[in-house]
């Protein structure tokens, strides 16, 4: 949640980078990464929970006996 809020605060700056560099996606990516580093934001911080869920949910579904 905290990472999402930090990323939201940086969105206007990231949008400005996209306008500034236009079609140069590599430059936009490099500048965005540098912005995240300087700001101390990890945009993938919440991904662990999602990854955890994608591993656990199929296991839970196979562990529940079907009512056939």
For residue range 17-29, list pLDDT tens digits in order: 999 998 999 999 9
Q: Which domain holds residue 10?
A: 2-62
Is residue 43 a contact partner of residue 28, using CB atoms and an 8 Å limit? no
Domain-located, residue 47: yes
Q: Is the pLDDT of residue 7 over 60?
A: yes
Which one is predicted more confidently, 5 or 65?
A: 5
Residue 57 belongs to a domain: yes
| 67 occurs within a structural domain | no
In a domain? residue 34: yes
Is 21 within the bounds of a domain? yes
In a domain, 68, yes or no: no
Task: Report residue 6 as tokens.
Answer: 């930090």
Place of tokens 């965005």: 32
Q: CA-CA distance, 51 to 48, in Å (whole number)?
A: 5
Give the number of domains in the chain.
Answer: 1
Say if CB 10 and CB 36 are below 8 A apart: yes
Does any domain span residue 39? yes
pTM: 0.60
């Amino acid at each position: 949640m905290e990472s999402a809020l930090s990323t939201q605060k940086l969105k206007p700056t990231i949008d400005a980078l996209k306008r500034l560099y236009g079609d140069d996606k590599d430059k936009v990516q490099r500048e965005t990464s540098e912005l995240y580093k300087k700001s101390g934001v990890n945009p993938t911080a919440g991904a662990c929970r999602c990854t955890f869920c994608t591993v656990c949910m199929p296991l839970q579904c196979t562990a529940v006996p079907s009512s056939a």
